[in-house]
Amino acid sequence: MSNRKLKRKRRFGDRKDGRLLRSLSPFYRFTPFIMKQRNEATNYFKEKFEITEAEKYLRALREEGYPGIGFLHVFLAAYIRCVAQFPSMNRFISGQRIYARNNIEINLIIKKKMSMDAEEENVKVFFEPTDGIRDVYRIIGSEIEKNKKESADNHTSNTANLLIKLPRIFLRMVVRLVYWLDYHGRVPATLLRASPFHGSLFVTDLGSIGVAPVYHHLYNFGNIPIFIAFGAKRKEYELNAEGKVVTKKYIDYTINLDERIADGYTFALVFRYLRQYLKNPRLLEKPLETIARDID
């Protein structure tokens, strides 16, 4: 697990993983009391993008010395760029309050081997808003290789293995206690680092196993507000400007998101930018003049 974190001074009301947004309008602060659970505040979005330019770009990066770089890295780099431009995408709801997350914290599941009985591990990685696709490749690659080792020390698995040994009655008590601690912002930092239910984003690459993306539910426990799934490459036959049939390749992706973290206009802008970055990831090479910061 990566320990790269953005450090900020905590104020009263802040959590270990985020700062309380104090200047939000009363309407937004009231919304979590109406839509109390994440699954009742979920919006579902499905989109596709044509991958010709992205494949050219990825081939060039592989020749440059980044073997194995693929669409997972493109999705993560595009998401990080969107957060750098629209920091409200890195908010979360806990204890019916809205927070700006301290870190860009991404969860994904890896298999130690590509087989039915291979172990799955949750990998949580920290990024900075300035990280580009090469940074994503390096950081993700390091974490995946570390967790694929048989002797890997994975915080999530270690915590789960410890808890599951408890009798059910005590395990239920522990879970209720953690719910209470999470509501009041008192979950220990070590547990937050281990939890696959806390973070900016959960992403799943279903294209790696050749299937279409699913609409994955958001967890009521924890505070992950966005889940992205993307599928395998597929072909479509279309008519070009001359009326001839041409073959184009697409990737479908789905986004489930907690609508309480931002307004519809912001979501629309983010979806537009995300689609542009996915379709032409060379745009991610252009450095941002400024990194946007969320409101106080």
For residue 75, which of 206, 249, 212 has the smallest C-alpha distance? 206
Domain segments of the chain as ranges: 18-285
Check: CB of residue 86 under 8 Å from CB of residue 266. yes
What is the structure's pLDDT at 8?
62
| CATH code given to domain 18-285 | 3.30.559.10
HEC string of 14-41?
CCCCEEECCCCCHHHHHHHHHCCCHHHH
- What is the model's pTM? 0.91
212's tokens: 């279409």
Per residue, what are the HEC states of the chain?
A: CCCCCCCCCCCCCCCCCEEECCCCCHHHHHHHHHCCCHHHHEEEEEEEEECHHHHHHHHHHHHHCCCCCCHHHHHHHHHHHHHHHCHHHHEEEECCEEEEECCEEEEEEEECCCCCCCCEEEEEEEECCCCCHHHHHHHHHHHHHHHHCCCCCCHHHHHHHHHCCCCHHHHHHHHHHHHHHHHCCCCCHHHHHHCCCCCCEEEEEHHHHCCCCCCCCCCCCCCCCEEEEEEEEEEEEEECCCCCEEEEEEEEEEEEEEHHHCCHHHHHHHHHHHHHHHHCHHHHHCCCCCCCCCCC
Give pLDDT < 70 ranges for the chain. Answer: 1-8, 111-119, 149-154
- Residue 276 and residue 278: Cα distance in Å, rounded? 5
Q: Residue 241 and residue 291: Cα distance in Å, rounded? A: 40
Residue 195's pLDDT is what? 92
| pLDDT given at position 112 | 65
What pLDDT was estimated at residue 66?
97
Q: 104-111 and 201-205: which strand pairing?
A: parallel
Q: What is the pLDDT of residue 160?
A: 79
